[in-house]
Every structure is written in structure tokens, then in C-alpha cells.
Amino acid sequence: MPILKEVSGIDDIENKQENEVYVFDNKLFVSLDESNKMQIQVYDILGKLKINESITNVKNSYDFQFKGIYLVMLTIDSEIQSYKFIVR
């Protein structure tokens, strides 16, 4: 009986660094995979655009001086990721 060396129907999982978005001490931090370029848009709870720029740096930070709820939209290629954070 032959032993199968490969499994068909299962895609290989690549080890790749993911993008990170987090908030600490009223600052929004965005860490990118080195190969990614992205567009960031930050809106306040009323829908007012606060930040709109292209990111090419690996590490970025944005300082928020006003309390509130914000929505972050990251566009990487054609994929959109959204995050919500609160500044207290």
C-alpha cells in the first residue's frame, strides 16, 4: 500500500507578518508588513474625516487630543479593514 506524501485539497499556509492596529495612551498605532502600502482614513462618530493619507512606513502613530469614538478604515490593495476605538 503506497503512503501519500502530499495532501490534496488543502492550501499551504504561508508564514507572513500581519498588519497591526492598536490604541495606547490616546495614540493610534499602525504597524505594516514591509511589503504593504495602504490608505488610512479615520472618522469621528459624527462621520467627519479626521485623517486621510497613504501609509508606506512600517510603523506609524497618530495622536488624538479629543475624547470620542473613532472608526478606522484601512484599505490594502482592494481589501478594506475597519476598526473602532475610544479615546477617553
Which one is predicted more confidently, 80 or 37? 80
Write out the CATH class of domain 20-87.
Answer: mainly beta
pTM, two decimal places? 0.71
- Give the residue extent of every domain in the chain: 20-87
pLDDT 10s digits, 23-74? 888 888 988 776 667 899 999 999 999 999 998 778 889 998 889 999 999 8
How much is the pLDDT for 22? 84
Is the Cα torsion angle 12, 81, 24, 32 positive or negative in sign? positive
Confidence label for 4 from pLDDT (cuts 50, 70 and 90): very low
How much is the pLDDT for 35? 63
Strands (E), the chain: 20-24, 27-31, 38-44, 49-55, 59-63, 68-76, 79-87
